[in-house]
Structure 1
Amino acid sequence: MVRSLLAVLLLSLAMAPASAWGPRGHRLVAELADAGLTPSARAEVQALLRDESEPTLAGVANWADALRSEDPDLGRASAPWHYVNLGESGCSYVAARDCPDGACVVEAIVDQTAILADRARPPEERLQALKFVVHFVGDVHQPMHAGYARDKGGNTVQVNLPDGSRDGRGSNLHALWDSGLFDSRHESQSRQLARLRALPAATATAGAGVDPARWAEESCRIVRRPGVYPARATLDPAYYRTWRPVAERQLVLGGRRLAMLLNQALDD
């Protein structure tokens, strides 16, 4: 009986789609964004979030992933909004080709930002849009969420993690970029946040303006860099040393660009 239950559990975990950055990563993006809000944008965010159990951007950062269990209908409808596949297209975004019917992370950010910015909309619609925007800006900066359709954003690429991360157990490339790169540091969230906040602004704000399509293209170009897809299934610790700083830079970019987007949408 125990073996049967374990087999079912492992199968369900294998079938579950990975979420960008994992819970910690999404909270970090939101925390970084919060520090960059203007006073008027902050006031608007606080008003929209006032009835939430954790009324902060970090508190709602993982809401869109929780929909899979908490609101399955909305979870299914919004599932394509978490990613866009650009790897096979040379990382060049063409809406008609890459985002039919607006069902991808690029157009989801645009559409949900428009709802958020429209003060004639009911508060509950704008609150939902805010939750989506916070999550999707994180998603679009996770490189695997803008990668290849053929391997489902790295989900079907199996890797074995070295000791020091998850004791050498198997994983996949998508999950590695979600959280595995960070887990190996055995670092608290607060300490990681402090390190990310200390990164030079010039390093983390490449390019000005709110442009989700360009953000996705940048993420895709990381996926196509030599070495992101490891030559061997068993990873060398050098993989972490090379790619962890890249992933952390993406977290910082996501946070500062989320602040930029919210300031633009919510400033008076």
Structure 2
Amino acid sequence: MHRYLSLLALAGALFAGDALAWSAEGHRIVARIAEAGLTPAARAEVDRLLAAEPDPTLAGISTWADELRDTDPVVAKRTAKWHYINFDGRCGFEPPKDCPGNNCVVTQANLMFGVLANRDKDDASRTAALKWVVHLIGDLHQPMHASMRDDKGGNDYQVNLDGEGSNMHRIWDGTIIERRALGAEAYATELLLQPLPDDPTLASDRPTLEWALESCRLVESGDLYPAEGTHVIDEAFLDAQLPLAERRLREAGYRLAMMLNYALARPKNVP
């Protein structure tokens, strides 16, 4: 893992549609789980970098990248493809094919991590990078944002729930978790009671890609969609998806904490 993270610091060279990845609540849940796992040194650096923010917490900035649509449409348009990756019919990564121009969530998560971890960068750049890392690690774990299907991350797969139209991307963004009617803080507190088992991806030289491939394989299994040819879903379908959605939130939160601890509080003699 250390080898991979040090490589990320040097990574400067290396269409899921218009829906967001996780609802605002989902991103805040991931961020609150990560906040609980920060070391004191990493937390102090987060506090310093976010001191000028209206809500100077990871949860407070977790939706910043989506809010650019309203606050800075030009930047939002330029970075729209950073939130997802389209694997072309298979769960395998060929950068020129799957991430042209480095415009995908896997590469941008790596590049932003490199900026955040670089202590020679100015605070404004590192703060923006922190906002991106918090958001993009959440995005990586929303299965519809790393899909091998040709339905634009579920946006083109229309469904009917309780007599109302929706699509599979929107169902995974928020419908599954929001129906529990818990606030982000309460939800994160509940999920923190369920620690993750050993995580083999942390030994990888490329964990962000591993996390995207995890999402892709979940989509590839077909279990995230209703039965083939079916477009009417019900509460039972949502109940069946809930454990996986909550697991992905937990994984995203714990993994984000690990990345931030390394980027913000690693010993100075570690490259």
TM-score in same-fold range (> 0.5): yes
SS at structure 1 position matched to 2:213:
helix
The answer to whether the 8 Å contact 1:29/1:254 transfers is yes
Give the superposition deviation at 1:87: 5.6
One-letter code aligned to 1:216? A
One-letter code aligned to 2:195? P
What is the TM-score normalised by the length of structure 1? 0.87
5 Å-filtered alignment, 1:189-268, equals 189-202=184-197, 205=199, 207-209=201-203, 211-231=207-227, 232-267=230-265, 268=267
Return 140-149 or 98-107, whichever deviates more: 140-149
Where in structure 1 are there 5+ consecutive unaligned residues? 1-15, 163-167
- Moved beyond 6 Å, runs of 4+: none
Return 233-242 or 125-134, whichever deviates more: 233-242
Residues 55-74 of structure 1 deviation map (CA, whole Å, 9 limit, x = unaligned): 00000000000111111111
One-letter code aligned to 2:214? E
5 Å-filtered alignment, 1:85-164, equals 85-86=86-87, 88=89, 90-148=90-148, 150-162=150-162
C-alpha distance in structure 2 between counterparts of 1:221 and 1:149, whole Å: 11
**1:40 and 1:190, CA in 2 relative to 1: closer, same or farther beyond 3 A?**
closer
Residues 131-162 of structure 1 deviation map (CA, whole Å, 9 limit, x = unaligned): 01100000010000001462110011111123
One-letter code aligned to 2:194? L
One-letter code aligned to 2:164? R
C-alpha distance in structure 2 between counterparts of 1:64 and 1:234, whole Å: 32
**1:56 and 1:83, CA in 2 relative to 1: closer, same or farther beyond 3 A?**
same
Number of equivalenced pairs: 246
Give the superposition deviation at 1:266: 1.1
* Alignment of 1:177 onto 2:172: yes
Give the superposition deviation at 1:189: 3.0
Where in structure 2 are there 5+ consecutive unaligned residues? 1-16
Return 25-34 or 192-201, whichever deviates more: 192-201
C-alpha distance in structure 2 between counterparts of 1:212 and 1:206, whole Å: 13
Aligned residues: CA RMSD: 1.6
Residue 3 of structure 1 corresponds to which residue in structure 2? Answer: none
* Alignment of 1:79 onto 2:73: no
C-alpha distance in structure 2 between counterparts of 1:259 and 1:238, whole Å: 33
Give the superposition deviation at 1:241: 2.1
What is the TM-score normalised by the length of structure 2? 0.86
C-alpha distance in structure 1 between counterparts of 2:72 and 2:183, whole Å: 31
What is the percent sequence identity of the aligned residues?
44
Higher helix share: 1
Give the superposition deviation at 1:196: 0.8
SS at structure 2 position matched to 1:201:
coil
